[in-house]
Amino acid sequence: MPRKMTFEEQSEEAIVKKIRKALQGSVGGFWFKVHGGPFQMAGLPDLLGCVQGRFIGIEVKRPSRMTNVSPIQQRMIQKINLNGGLAIVSCDPDTAVEEVTRFLSTP
């Protein structure tokens, strides 16, 4: 049987898919993968969601690149958090689900 790839060995796109699937299964809601392009606002997180009327953004990184968040991504994360949403950086489904669940349980 083939060895299971670690998150470090997987592409960022593969990690995004796993996080999205885990969130849909655990907390439900609406989740959208943002595909960057010239007509899109710079710095948007990779995965956007709305659960129980609350806005969530997740910037997905491979584990070795968790600290490699650009200044514009950092500003966007800060704006979302300052306006009552949740924006995080995550490299695995378990952490993303845990943080989103914690956010949804706060008034």
CB-facing half-sphere around the CA of 67: CA atoms within 13 A: 1
Is 4 within the bounds of a domain? no
Domain span at residue 59? 12-104
Is 6 within the bounds of a domain? no
Is 94 within the bounds of a domain? yes
**pLDDT at residue number 4:** 77
Q: Would you say how long the chain is, in residues? A: 107
**pLDDT at residue number 51:** 98
Token pair of 26, please?
A: 């655990």
Q: What is the CATH number of the domain that holds 35?
A: 3.40.1350.10
Is 50 within the bounds of a domain? yes
Question: Which of 3-7, 50-54, 57-61 is least confident?
Answer: 3-7
Q: Number of structural domains, the chain?
A: 1
Is 41 within the bounds of a domain? yes
Give, in degrees to the nearest 5, the angle at Cα 3 between 69 and 19. 35
Is 3 within the bounds of a domain? no
Q: Mean pLDDT across the chain, nearest whole number?
A: 93
